[in-house]
Chain A
Amino acid sequence: MSNEVNQIGLSKADYRGAVSTLCQGCGHNSIANQIVSVAYELNLHPEDIIKFSGIGCSSKCPTYFLGRSFGFNGLHGRMPPVATGALFGDTRLKGLGMSGDGDTASIGMGHFKHINRRNPNLVYIVANNGVYGLTKGQFSATAERGLTLKRQGVNPYMPIDICTEALISGASFVARSFAGDAKQLKSLLKGAFSHKGLAVLDIISPCVTFNNDESSVHSYDWAKTHQTLLHDISYIQHFEEIMIEDDFLPGMVKEVSLHDGSVIVLKKLERDYDPTNLVEAHRLMAEASDQNFMLTGLIYLNPEQPTLTDIYDMPEDTPFNRMTEDRLRPAAETMDKINKLMF
């Protein structure tokens, strides 16, 4: 193991967790590894991150990364409310939620929609494979109509698109990526960590055991052949200089600044796309759905949307969970005044 350390003197090992117990080749393991790399490269203190998850293969993941971060592995579909409440404990902390398509798009759909309205400071990852793994291969709500699974037959229902649901519900950061595309995933994860507010990342993360047939839209093969990059995305930390190669003409590059001073640089590929335009984002999602291509990249970003803690305007000098009785219990002399109002 290398002795390399990042700018805050931590090695990669300080960001790792327990050894994964997921299947060999599971997309989720790639995501977990990327989270370790991204936190290391962004020089984040593991103690400044709180992990959250629900139930399912995806939700087991927080054990496998950031072992020095607090975490709460709660109930199926109910990661959002736990994260929402916990993040008030110390608003300096960044939440990292790890969910799956069953967890988010079925049992937890209500919570998912509502956390978008509230915009807490949370990276919300959906490791999306179209299938229930821990219960051995049932259809999830993101499975495409017509998908055939071994013991389930043919899926008769329309799929739910997580990015579209996030957009409709008022999300401030929406992106889609593919667990097999390390470069893009890393840039988007970094952008999500730098975003102030809720960042929804729908990551196609194939299940090698139950849903990896080349005809399935959540398989490695399908993703590789159908992935349509919205742009070439790179993430520049606030202390780095933005370097654009000479062959990119003006108008071909779009920069989006994030709250911590970092910048997302989007280089144009086939289409002109402005991820800060909500109407355009909706149109694009409809087009991708209609034409059946797997669109990845930064779909929507509004860095100015107030976060949940902005809305509540809480005291900032002391973390809420370190506040003591002298600031939490009203003074004794108020009691008489209150009793006089009781009539």
Chain B
Amino acid sequence: MTSEPSSVPQKSSLHDPVINDFSITVGTRNGSGSATSNLTLLRALFRMGIPISGKNLFPSNIQGQPTWFTIRISKDGYLARTEKPEIVVAMNTDCFVQDVKSIIPGGVLFYDQDINLPIDRKDIVCYPMPVKQLVKGMDVPSNLRSYAANMVYVGVMAQILSIDLQKIYQAIDFHFKGKKTAVDLNYGVANASAIWASENLQKGDPYRVEPMDKTKDYILAEGNTAAALGSLYGGVQFVSWYPITPASTIPEELNYYLPMLRKDPVSGKYTCVVVQAEDELGAIGMAAGAGWAGLRAMTSTSGPGISLMAEFTGLAYYTETPIVIWNVARVGPSTGMPTRTAQGDVTFTYFLGHGDTDAIILFPKDPNECFEFGWKAFDYAERYQTPVFVMSDLDLGMQYWMTEPFKYPDTPMDRGKILWEEDLERLKDEWGRYKDVDNDGIPYRTLPGNRHPNAAWLARGTGHNEYAKYTESAEKWEEVMDRIKKKFETAREQIPLPKIDIMDNGSPIGLICYGTTWMAVEETRHILRDQHNIKTDYLRILATPFSKQICEFIQQHERVYIVELNRDGQMRQLLTMEYPKLATRLASLCHADGLSMSTEWLLRAFLKKEAE
């Protein structure tokens, strides 16, 4: 192996090391195989026991466009996005200038030395990498060269930042499922690159990692994988879907794990059916049919698909049909930015459907909760006989998260109020599909295939009475609609309650968030306490309809900031409507630029609002 002598600037910042507290952004081309390398780095660091988060910023494109992967390494376990990387790996000519510019002063640049562009930064440490040469020296088949090229930076960084090569090997071995040729090839390049770096580069920067023991109680997972697994453990029987970024990996992962988890012990066949529909109308329509027929049915989509699902959501609401609908949100309106994240569908989903409606919406915060809500959503859908939405987002669904291991369901399946032949026999003629016999608003239902002569009923989106018969009666219409409303009152305190954290003896300031913004919120609260001497209390919403605890929390605080990733403060709008008398206490800390919320932004926004 040959290489030019390196031109590493000699800086003596080594005596002021930065350990396990920095972030790395890797700029590559999409479709070049860099995902493997980036995941390898992420997994190796995780295996070293260091808390990490990984965020892939990718274009809506198949191949050739710039893509970035940011790894945040945080000894304190903060996982929110950071705005400026300490370290940049520049592998793509097209975004080289921009990538170099993004590095913080005192930061580090690893770059492919074949990129012939000037580096006009004197305040950073630069490590050129002879990528082509290293790969050439490795006897890599020509069709795999671009993939192998990305392993060069893995090896070089391992050497310079002290990433354990053993862990790199484990990560590669896991990724290629032990396939020897692939493992040997990829690790071979990484290892050779590390050796090259040790012989040719001199450490000139203060950043490095050290093993910790902070990840042993965690797993690494994407939210969509967790959603698929949670659904499988929830006994999902029917999945219909239409491809859309960033939701497609839910059914894809479901298909992947189906043979492992849902082979029927009796027949050896699968106990879940996955149908790719013609469009989102078809997808939710099939799920509605299956849910009505007594199957645990779900569909998954994103904003444009949710728009199309409005009609069926209204039908399911009024016919009282259980369906689980995952909305993995991306940036709208319209096609928007399909590969970027937002919490922009909150009000739309909450009011989805024409006429008066209510919605049970669950807001998971991480893959662990995606798993939990994955199975619980079916219990709620069947118990309350209504569509249940689970609001994820691209950041949660498609990024790798360090998260607590999935916990096996701790309650038996709740199939809700279903009557079979023997139940109807016992009830004689007293059954009516939409009668509120238990005074909780929830009626009893029968399912197709029930052969009792009284079992059948015709579900209809048209006006109906308590026996599901067609009617245009003013009284009956109102009676049924009021009874449906009652179900949601019943649900209010039975679905996941908010999580509340009061700091010390409490504060006049409250922060409310939901879903993925908790990462920025929790870190910001600590910074406010430690660096600004500002205490804050905190409530995370897990579901709608709102629990009364949310109202109490707002009442207990002078001012409450609702933190969210949308332009208009959609959750604040809902809270304002729910608690009009408390509205003046509510303020938004919200914005939507397609990126997950950074701690820096939230801190700035909070301090600015407080100064007003």
Contacts and interface: CB of A to CB of B under 8 A. Distances in A.
Interface residues of B, number: 77
Contacts of B295: 85, 88-89, 320-321
Given A47-B455, A88-B293, A110 B269 contact: no
A82 interface: yes
B297 interface: yes
B304 interface: no
Contacts of B238: 85, 88
Interface stretch (A1-9, A71-79, A224-232): A71-79
Contacts of B260: 334, 338
B574 interface: no
Contacts of B449: 47, 89-90, 92-93, 319, 321-322
Given A72-B459, A334-B261, A78 B269 contact: no
Contacts of B185: none
Contact of B311 (A75, A89, A334): A75
A71 B293 CA distance: 10
A89 B261 contact: no
A88 B264 contact: no
Interface string A299-341: 0000000000000111111111111011111101011001100
Nearest to B281: A78
Contacts of A312: 270, 273
A343 B288 contact: no
A81 interface: yes
Contact of B287 (A85, A87, A330, A334): A85
Contacts of B315: 74-75
Which bracket fits the contact residues of A?
Answer: 35 or more
Given A321-B448, A335-B408, A343 B269 contact: no
A111 interface: yes
Given A75-B311, A315-B266, A343 B46 contact: yes
Contact of B448 (A74, A93, A327): A93
Contacts of B289: 52, 72, 81-87
Contact of B460 (A46, A73, A111): A73
B43 to A, nearest CB: 6
Contacts of B43: 343
B277 A70 contact: no
B267 interface: yes
Contacts of A46: 456
Interface stretch (B18-26, B228-236, B357-365, B475-483): B228-236
Contacts of A326: 265
Contacts of B500: none
Nearest to A318: B266
B606 interface: no
B297 A330 contact: no
Interface stretch (A61-69, A123-131, A158-166): A61-69
Contact of B271 (A74, A92, A328): A328
A84 B220 contact: no
A45 interface: yes
Nearest to B459: A72
Nearest to B274: A312
A327 B461 CA distance: 33
Interface in B224-266: 225, 229, 232-235, 237-238, 240, 257, 260-262, 264-266
Contact of B453 (A68, A118, A317, A320): A68
Contacts, number: 217
Contacts of A87: 289, 293
A227 B455 CA distance: 42
A80 B279 CA distance: 12
B172 to A, nearest CB: 12
B528 interface: no
B235 A329 contact: yes
A78 B285 CA distance: 7
B271 A342 contact: no
Interface in B120-170: none
B221 interface: yes
Contacts of A342: 219-221, 225, 405-406
Contact of A81 (B46, B281, B405, B462): B281
A88 B297 CA distance: 11
Contacts of B229: 338
B296 A328 contact: yes
B458 A70 contact: yes
B448 A78 contact: no
A196 interface: no
Most chain B CB within 10 A, of A45, A68, A78, is at: A78
B447 A321 contact: yes
Interface string B439-474: 000000011111111011111111000000010000
A325 B285 contact: no
A81 B447 contact: no
A51 interface: yes
A281 B435 CA distance: 51
A51 B453 CA distance: 16
B220 A343 contact: yes
A114 interface: yes
A321 B232 CA distance: 16
B219 A111 contact: no
B603 interface: no
A341 to B, nearest CB: 9
A327 B270 CA distance: 10
16 contacts: A62-B458, A70-B446, A70-B450, A71-B458, A81-B281, A81-B286, A84-B275, A84-B289, A85-B290, A89-B292, A315-B266, A321-B449, A322-B449, A329-B234, A329-B413, A343-B219
The 3 closest A-B pairs by CB, nearest first: A89-B293, A81-B285, A85-B289
Given A63-B458, A82-B286, A329-B233, 7 more contacts: A50-B448, A69-B456, A72-B460, A73-B458, A82-B285, A88-B273, A322-B449
